[in-house]
Amino acid sequence: MSLFKGSAVAIITPFSEDGSVNFKKLSELVDFHLKNKTDAILVAGTTGEASTMTDEEQVEVVKFVVGKVKNRVPVIAGAGSNDTRHGINLSKLCEEAGADALLHVTPYYNKTSQKGLYEHFKVMANAVSIPVLLYNVPGRTGMTIAPETVALLAEIPNIIGLKDATGDLSYTCKVKSLVPRDFAIYSGNDDVVLPVLSLGGSGVISVWANVCPAEVHNMCAYFFNGDIEKAWEIQTKHKAFIDALFMETNPIPLKAAMKILGRDAERLRLPLYKASKNTEDTLRKTMIDLALLQEVSKIIH
């Protein structure tokens, strides 16, 4: 089943000058997404810098966003780990915090076999009663979930979908050919959202939507309503900006873009470090070209 159709934002975690989570700014960002038609919110994912947050911080952020959203859209909590026992505990805590679903990433660094992957995801999913999305991002984790393993995991009742960040449409197509028709596939790459939708995908879990939530929602909505040309216009128009958002490790360029927009959400936790001048300049140019910085654009042009 689809937890949502359309655009889920992989929301950033804003930090204060002292490094703590800035809940006032987080509240503003959630309001911004609700006003701009975002279909779901992923909290404490890769973009949310969960790897530098304590479990207590992570659960507090999930609980805060759940309370702010008040059931208006699904809230998905990043709860994966390369330690299965830790993943079970974190998943239970996020469920107790009110998350509507969980995102479980492939184990990183220590890696495992496909059999180990199956057992890892199975026991974590069985530890909770809410839906679970698998997250395949080999560029980050150094390993992939084989399509056949995804198909086996799809037999577990509350494993309902996959965030596919492989960027490999052949992989997406193979997964789609093996899983039940109602197993949801969400693009994890902003530059191939429409190709994934064309293969039967249910939407995107998006970095780009942090800046352009209405556009990403509308692109998906146009596709689902049969207006493919308008959908492609949005996808292709934003290609240069999407590329700029991944010039450095996510969310470094994204938080630089937030800074350029004056949203006071640019602080990162080490080892992530602020974007280079080249990245900022490229972001600024693409944002001016898209009229995201209309006042700056007037001055320059």
Catalytic residue among 118, 135, 186, 222: 135
Which pLDDT score, from 0 to 100, does residue 297 have? 36
Last residue of a domain, one of 204, 227, 250: 227
Which pLDDT score, from 0 to 100, does residue 69 have? 98
Long-range contacts, 168-177 (Cβ 8 Å, 24+): 169/195, 169/196, 169/199, 171/144, 171/147, 172/196, 172/199, 172/201, 173/199, 174/147, 175/147, 175/150, 175/151, 176/200, 177/147
* 186 flagged as catalytic: no
Look at the chain and report how many structural domains it folds into.
2
With respect to residue 232, please indicate whether it lies within any of the assigned structural domains. no
* Averages of pLDDT over each 10 residues, the chain, 301 residues: 90 95 96 97 96 96 98 96 96 98 94 96 98 95 95 98 97 98 97 97 97 97 98 97 97 96 89 96 95 54 33
Which pLDDT score, from 0 to 100, does residue 294 have? 62
Residues 62 and 165 in one domain: yes
CATH of the domain at 134: 3.20.20.70
With respect to residue 273, please indicate whether it lies within any of the assigned structural domains. yes
With respect to residue 90, please indicate whether it lies within any of the assigned structural domains. yes
Catalytic residue among 163, 176, 222, 255: 163
Residues 162 and 264 in one domain: no
With respect to residue 233, please indicate whether it lies within any of the assigned structural domains. no
Residues 251 and 170 in one domain: no
Which pLDDT score, from 0 to 100, does residue 263 have? 85
Which pLDDT score, from 0 to 100, does residue 300 have? 34
DSSP string, the chain: --S-SEEEEE----B-TTSSB-HHHHHHHHHHHHHTT--EEEESSTTTTGGGS-HHHHHHHHHHHHHHHTTSS-EEEE---SSHHHHHHHHHHHHHTT-SEEEEEPP-SS---HHHHHHHHHHHHHT-SS-EEEEE-HHHHS----HHHHHHHTTSTTEEEEEE-S--HHHHHHHHHHS-TT-EEEES-GGGHHHHHHTT--EEEESGGGT-HHHHHHHHHHHHTT-HHHHHHHHHHTHHHHHHTTSSSTTHHHHHHHHHTT-S-----TTS-PPPHHHHHHHHHHHHHTTTTHHHHHHH-
Which pLDDT score, from 0 to 100, does residue 298 have? 40
With respect to residue 68, please indicate whether it lies within any of the assigned structural domains. yes
Q: Which domain holds residue 83?
A: 6-227
With respect to residue 1, please indicate whether it lies within any of the assigned structural domains. no
Last residue of a domain, one of 206, 227, 248: 227
Residues 203 and 249 in one domain: no
With respect to residue 213, please indicate whether it lies within any of the assigned structural domains. yes
Residues 84 and 209 in one domain: yes
* 135 flagged as catalytic: yes
Last residue of a domain, one of 227, 260, 293: 227
Residues 134 and 19 in one domain: yes
